[in-house]
Amino acid sequence: MVVESLFPTGMTHYLAGGMLIGVGTVLIYGLTGISAGASTFLESTLSYASSSPRFEQYRPSRDWRVVFTLGIVIGAASYTLAVGDGVWLTAVQPWRLALGGVLVGVGTRLGKGCTSGHGICGVGSGSSTSFLNVGTFLVVAIGVAQLVAALGVSP
């Protein structure tokens, strides 16, 4: 069947997980009016250590962004404990994680958001800026991932 070839591990956990991500975002938005994205945490947290104006501008939000990020860690840990999964370690090579991480850090901050800020909040807001950003990073990431795989880098 077509569906099974497109979604070999099923669809339910993807849909349910995505909707839970949405519910978490809506809970914060509905109570505070704030669209919480995940990547601003990087710069707002740097303001604890650096007085650069680029990071200082996030000073008013830096405390709650730490709390939001801790919530994400706690939520993921709770799920793992609840379903009885043991500790899971990625096999993706450290150089890919580190180099990719640097580019993600630069790109999300320069581009004004990431998969949650643009992808969930911005797209949910019907923002054309966010649609353009998401379209750009999706197309580029697909090309890079296919290229890296074609070069024989695995995992």
Question: In the window 61-90, what residues touch another protein (CB under 8 A)?
Answer: 61-64, 67-80, 85-90
Instruction: State the amino acid at position 4 in one-letter form.
Output: E
Of 1, 98, 151, 152, the one binding another protein by CB under 8 A: 98
Pick out residues in 122-141 that bind another protein (CB under 8 A): 122-130, 132-134, 136-141
Q: Quick one: which of 48, 84, 143, 151 contacts another protein (CB under 8 A)? A: 143
The reply to whether 48 sits near another protein by the rule CB under 8 A is no
**Is residue 58 packed enough to be buried (19+ CB in 10 Å), middle (13-18) or exposed (0-12)?**
middle
> Nearer to another protein by C-beta: 1 or 53?
53
Residue 56: other Cβ atoms inside 10 A? 15
d(CA 80, CA 88): 9
Closest C-alpha to 116, from 56, 45, 34, 61: 34
> What's 11's DSSP letter?
S
Min dist. Cβ of residue 150 to another protein (A): 10
Distance in angstroms (rounded) separating the CA atoms of residues 39 and 26? 18
Size of the site for another protein (CB under 8 A): 123
- Ranges within 10-39 binding another protein (CB under 8 A): 11, 13-36, 38-39
- Taking the least distance from each CB to another protein, the nearer of 144 and 152 is 144
Nearest-angstrom CA–CA distance, 152 and 129: 35
Pick from 1, 91, 151, 152 the residue near another protein by CB under 8 A.
91
